[in-house]
Amino acid sequence: MKSPFLLSFTLLLSACAPPMMDRRPADVPLIPAPEAAPETTTEAGRADPGQPLANRSDVQAFIRAMAAEHGFNATSLRATFARAHSQPSIIAAMSKPAEGKPWHAYRSIFINSKRIQGGVEFWRANAAALARAEQVYGVPPEYVIAIIGVETQYGGNMGKYRVLEALATLAFDYPRRAAYFRKELENFLLLARAEGIDPLAPRGSYAGAMGYGQFMPSSFRSYAVDFDGDGHRDIWRNPRDAIGSVANYFRKNGWRPGEPVASPASISGDRYAALVSRQLNQPRSSVASLRNQGVAPRDSISDGQSAMLLEFQGIDGPEYWLGFDNFYAITRYNRSQLYALAVHQLSQEIRARSGNRPYSGVFSSDPIAHAD
């Protein structure tokens, strides 16, 4: 696992840090933490959208560091930053007030006929690459598809910001996450050089997430693969590379081939309430021990499977689910139980609509209403 993730996860657990911005779905901002008071900035560090980034002393210091540490040509980097500007709209987007959606509202954004149909079509169009990704990485097609569907509507919404400007804006004009985004900017310049891309060309989200699966630059460098062997890792225009990269990300972050993801749960007695897992932890109880405490999967799941009890706010009250190790693996992609359940349910809908058998015999026994 790459270090920014470890760092961010540690910060998340400390409960005082902002949420991870890495793979936020483009159309559903996760909840930004309340804004900290802006730290004092140097004269040169103040946002001035009219001024090219290359004119600022903090950017010039960054360029010198990139030249010293990574052998970049400072003159050409200055020329690049001379054509880039800090974007106040990005700071505004990062500073939106916190807004949490209950599960039933979150769900309807992703589990609807448009997103399901898009997934069916994406599967049809990319069947060979998806099948090969399952062979190589052990991740079933519907989960790779659901991730790409939730993140970017199958590539339809990959973000309109220049990645360089998004990362530089947050590295130099957003003090509370400056260190993280400075590192991502560094990773971005390194990947652009390695791939032979003009750093001004790639587009992404306002937080610098890129391509079909919305990879941050550090994720790109750790997990992106050239899945069609053409010599380029192109997660922006090449769905085959995007598919291989998402599957590789999962495999490297704990996906267990052949194991289930989640199951609706039945509850009885009064011991279940204390068992609800509200943190993003690896499941630690066995299905057998949960069963002894009044919590049972509605799908057929082996007693030895590790599980955690999850509670979601449905329209008619709480819904209970068991999440397994692969549910936890999905939260490595985006640190949210809502996100992981949306990916799981969307994947099952896509598989069902594609006329394929359910994965591992695990399929929600509950009819799922479609909110369109």
**Catalytic site positions:** 151
**Residue count at the site for Ca ion (CB under 5 A)?**
5
Could you tell me the CA-to-CA distances from 200 to 71, 89, 189, 196, 215 in Å, in that order? 19, 18, 10, 12, 17
Residues 6 or more apart whose CB falls under 8 angstroms from that of 97 comprise 32, 34
Please state, in angstroms and rounded to a whole number, the distance separating the CA atoms of residues 101 and 97: 13
- Strand 317-323 with 161-162, pairing: unpaired
Of 206, 230, 228, 208, the C-alpha closest to 220 is 208
Range 315-344, binding Ca ion (CB under 5 A): none
Task: Name the minimum Å distance from CB 228 to Ca ion.
Answer: 5
Range 223-242, binding Ca ion (CB under 5 A): 226, 228, 230, 232, 241
Closest residue (Cβ) to Ca ion?
Answer: 226
Q: Which is nearer to Ca ion, 63 or 225 (CB)?
A: 225
Of 221, 162, 225, 230, the C-alpha closest to 194 is 221
Q: Which is nearer to Ca ion, 19 or 239 (CB)?
A: 239
Q: Which is nearer to Ca ion, 242 or 307 (CB)?
A: 242
Q: Which is nearer to Ca ion, 228 or 299 (CB)?
A: 228
Residues 6 or more apart whose CB falls under 8 angstroms from that of 185 comprise 62, 164, 167, 168, 171, 208, 217
Task: Name the minimum Å distance from CB 240 to Ca ion.
Answer: 7
Task: Name the minimum Å distance from CB 246 to Ca ion.
Answer: 14
Binding mask 238-277 for Ca ion (x = CB under 5 A): ---x------------------------------------
Would you count residue 198 as binding Ca ion (CB under 5 A)? no
Residues that bind Ca ion (CB under 5 A): 226, 228, 230, 232, 241
